[in-house]
A and B are shown apart, each in its own frame.
Chain A
Amino acid sequence: MTTTEAEPTTTTPTRQNRRRRTGWEWLALTATVLIALVMAAPLLLVLLNAFKSPEDFAGNGPLGLPTGLYFDGVKTFWDAVNFPEKVWNSILISGCVAIGGVLVSVLNAYALGIGRIRGRMWVLIAFLLATIVPQEALLYPLYIMFKNVGLYDTVWSVVIVFIVIHGAFGTYLLASVFGAFPRELLEAAALDGASRWQILWRVVVPVCRPTLAVLAVFFFIWTWNEFLIPLSFLVSESNQTVQVGIATLQGERIMNVTTISASALLGIAPTLIFFLVFQRTLTRGLTAGAIK
């Protein structure tokens, strides 16, 4: 398994224009664009309806263009779920998991990939299992444990669980990245008198920083989108994430159509911003899990 850098699919213009585009190629373009439209349609519909007034919606239906801008839907939703609070909880949880998960992965991978401790294959398998096991099989025991130590219904219960689950994946990935780390660099640092701890932080981590960054972005998005465990452990409204807050609100059916659209728009916004900011890091790292 390796981390490869996926360059965007480019071909030189000379090759591109060497001969005329055939009908099949235009057909392929049309088909792929049409599918992209279908994929984006639900989101476009949200955008179309988020700023409509209920009367406008009732009169012209979901497909009509809005007659004016109407912000009450967004406002109703914003207040009903206390949106800033939910976003803060999500950022806090996801941020802690991104940092903590990478930290745990680095330490584990240092022992496994560079230290090559004995029995590392079995240790790796144990970590791999942690990423495969269904969360339901951990749910109730964790629920009892967190209740006993007073972490139930705090964001920290969720933070700890995902540091371990995502950190297990990170360990698996980083162990092979560290395994391929140039030995000369380690030797040179050791000759200069650097201790093992110093080698980790001054040589290994700086060299692998791009991979660690990708891993942190992954952990952040994955945690942001987690559902079952936050739903089960965060029962007070003030501790809930965006995901859980919206899902429980949906159950109450107090919302009209434009409020629903507004909530969806606000719910998408943070991830979308994050995605756009880190898009390059992400597409570069998306092949990270590929086994070769």
Chain B
Amino acid sequence: MTWESRKGYWLYLIPGALLLTVIIVVPLGWNVYLSFTKYRGIKPPTWIGLENWQKLFQDEEFWASFQHSIAMVVAMVVLPTLIGLVLASLLFDLVGRRFGGKVVGLLRAVYYLPQILPIAIAAIVVGWILRPDDGALNEVLTAIGLGGHNWLGSPDTALLSVGAVLVWIQIGYPVVVFMSALQRIDPQLYEAAELDGANWWQRFRAITLSGIRPEIFVVVLTCTVAALKVFGPVYALTRGGPGSSTIVPSYYSYTEFFTAQQVGYGATIATALTVVVLVVAIFFVRAQFRLADEEER
């Protein structure tokens, strides 16, 4: 027997494939089925066709939750990626080359810290800082003569506050990924550009941006998927409130499942979210492949 014969290797796939089927494929299909039923968790589900889906498209709460998803994309993808690009480039191009790797390593670790922070803890810390009466932020604001505000408790600033927290949590991820991508770029390129009189912005655009495009794609894709699915921060910070001012699709489906006991409708929201996530992922991957093709040509 030589290793070259391919027969028999599929045996190794059996445990993994079995687990994948039981834990992912079957529940996913089951969930789609539930979206066509009325099911309150006790009596068996009854088939009601498209009723849930019709309700979904007229459900203002659902559309509000999706609008908040867009805000989440801004907070978890757009801002962190932009800030991350600038920070990574500053660290690599200016700080790293003039002040040494130790400084850069330390700064990078500090930026990454919120990423490893469990979300329940982050929520406690932030919730406490933003507390209306004795929170640290309001104390500072009062000290410098600005009035305090109930940041998480009032509908007009709750989404903004959650967004700000998410920016804080997310920044470390693009910084670290982009910085390791920059290792690939020859530092002499920067030196040469500098000697030619290119300023930081020109070096940033010509060398940094074009050099690490694959990583930018990866960061944007993974963060967008994460932003659409975001649950923990919303649950831990605001539970979707006040009212429904910070509700997101995943939190909405969670409450339909376990609080309202409207399992069929919860499944419909979850299925709709799955479809959106898959469409976004396919779109990104295709765009990435097309870009890679063009570059090879």
Tell me the A residues contacting B by CB distance below 8 Å: 4, 6-11, 13, 15-16, 21, 24-25, 28-29, 31-33, 35-36, 39-40, 42-43, 45-46, 57-58, 61-63, 104-105, 107-108, 110-112, 114-118, 123, 126-127, 129-130, 132-143, 145, 160-161, 163-165, 167-168, 171, 186-187, 189-190, 196, 199-200, 221, 224-225, 227-228, 231-232, 242-244, 246-247, 250, 257, 260-261, 263-264, 267-268, 271-272, 275, 279, 283, 286-287, 289-292
B235 CB–A CB distance under 8 Å:
yes
B161 CB–A CB distance under 8 Å:
no
Q: How large is the interface on B (under 10, 10 to 19, 20 to 34, 35 or more residues)?
A: 35 or more
The contact string, 1 if C-beta is below 8 Å from chain A, for chain B 158-191, is 0000000000100110001101111110010000
Residue among A39, A129, A260, A290 making CB contact with B177, cutoff 8 Å: A290
Q: Shortest 5 CB-CB distances between A and B: which pairs?
A: A115-B9, A6-B180, A10-B101, A141-B27, A227-B232
B95 CB–A CB distance under 8 Å:
yes
Classify the secondary structure of B's interface with A.
Answer: helix
Residue among A107, A187, A271 making CB contact with B3, cutoff 8 Å: A187
Q: Which residues of A contact B107 (CB under 8 A)?
A: 32-33, 36
Tell me the B residues contacting A by CB distance below 8 Å: 1-3, 6, 8-13, 15-17, 19-20, 22-28, 30-31, 34, 87, 90-92, 94-101, 103-105, 107-111, 113-114, 116-129, 131, 134-136, 139-140, 168, 171-172, 176-177, 179-184, 187, 200, 214-215, 217-218, 222, 225, 228-229, 231-232, 235-236, 249-250, 253-254, 257-258, 263, 266-267, 269-271, 273-274, 277-278, 281, 288
Q: Which residues of B contact A58 (CB under 8 A)?
A: 134
Q: A133-B274, A137-B271, A140-B266 are in contact. Are A11 and B187 (CB under 8 A)?
A: yes
Contacts A10-B96, A10-B101, A139-B31 known; list 18 others, CB within 8 Å.
A4-B184, A6-B183, A24-B94, A24-B200, A25-B98, A28-B200, A32-B107, A33-B107, A39-B110, A62-B135, A108-B17, A114-B3, A114-B9, A118-B6, A227-B231, A267-B118, A268-B118, A289-B218
Residue among A61, A267, A292 making CB contact with B120, cutoff 8 Å: A267
A111–B20 touching, CB < 8 Å: no
**How far does the alpha carbon of A42 sit from the alpha carbon of B129 in the complex, in Å?**
8
A105 to chain B, nearest CB (A): 8
A243 to chain B, nearest CB (A): 5
Nearest chain B residue, comparing its CB with the CB of A134: B229
Nearest chain A residue, comparing its CB with the CB of B131: A257
Q: Which residues of A contact B172 (CB under 8 A)?
A: 39
Residue among B16, B168, B274 making CB contact with A39, cutoff 8 Å: B168
B177–A264 touching, CB < 8 Å: no
B277–A132 touching, CB < 8 Å: yes
Q: Which residues of A contact B253 (CB under 8 A)?
A: 136, 139
Residue among B23, B124, B127 making CB contact with A142, cutoff 8 Å: B23
A291–B288 touching, CB < 8 Å: yes
B73 to chain A, nearest CB (A): 15
A136–B270 touching, CB < 8 Å: yes
B127–A250 touching, CB < 8 Å: yes
7 contacts between A and B (CB under 8 A): A15-B97, A32-B107, A127-B16, A134-B250, A136-B249, A140-B263, A247-B120
**How far does the alpha carbon of A147 sit from the alpha carbon of B139 in the complex, in Å?**
48
Q: Which residues of A contact B134 (CB under 8 A)?
A: 57-58, 61-62, 257
A139–B277 touching, CB < 8 Å: no
B3–A190 touching, CB < 8 Å: yes
**How far does the alpha carbon of A4 sit from the alpha carbon of B179 in the complex, in Å?**
12
B90–A275 touching, CB < 8 Å: no
**How far does the alpha carbon of A290 sit from the alpha carbon of B263 in the complex, in Å?**
38
A108–B121 touching, CB < 8 Å: no
**How far does the alpha carbon of A136 sit from the alpha carbon of B231 in the complex, in Å?**
9
B27–A145 touching, CB < 8 Å: yes
B31–A11 touching, CB < 8 Å: no
